[in-house]
């Protein structure tokens, strides 16, 4: 149980770092990826398919933000399955995979990919943000594992 909690805490660190950087960059750079808009589209379409009235405004943003933190925490926590000597490599690969997925999956899922594919810079930032999240999770995991020895 301790290992699972350590993995989740490290995953949360990466998810929070990803979102803090994302929210900051989008305030200053018009080419910043808008993964949040893809998330809002997913939530809105999901609610409509369930016959529910979709959220709007701050409620939509908050629900999407919470879902993003939750899902990225779980995803980044999988880095903890790697052996210590492969943690940084695993964090990098997990982050890269998430970033590439964020670029490639919206279109085939019937979602707009414009928020993450507008420009080459947008694409690069999308992959970079997720990779940073993976690395923050990996570094957090290394620190947490050392503290528990």
Residues 40-58 pLDDT 10s: 999 999 999 999 999 999 9
pLDDT band of 116, cuts 50, 70, 90: very high
Tally the domains of the chain. Answer: 1
How much is the pLDDT for 149? 61
Give the three-class secondary structure for 34: coil
**pTM for this predicted structure:** 0.94
Which residues make Cβ contacts (< 8 Å) with residue 81, sequence separation at least 6?
7, 90
pLDDT over 90, % of the chain: 95
């Amino acid at each position: 149980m301790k290992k699972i909690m350590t993995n989740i805490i490290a995953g949360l660190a990466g998810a929070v770092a990803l979102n803090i950087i994302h929210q900051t960059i989008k305030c200053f750079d018009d080419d910043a990826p808008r993964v949040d808009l893809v998330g809002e589209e997913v939530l809105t379409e999901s609610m409509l398919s369930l016959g529910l009235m979709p959220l709007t405004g701050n409620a939509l943003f908050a629900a999407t933000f919470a879902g993003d933190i939750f899902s990225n925490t779980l995803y980044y926590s999988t880095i903890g399955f790697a052996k210590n000597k492969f943690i940084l490599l695993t964090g990098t690969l997990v982050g890269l995979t998430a970033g590439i997925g964020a670029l490639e999956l919206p279109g085939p899922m019937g979602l707009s990919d414009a928020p993450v594919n507008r420009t080459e810079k947008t694409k690069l930032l999308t992959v970079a943000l997720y990779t940073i999240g993976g690395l923050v999770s990996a570094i957090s995991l290394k620190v947490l594992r050392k503290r528990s020895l």
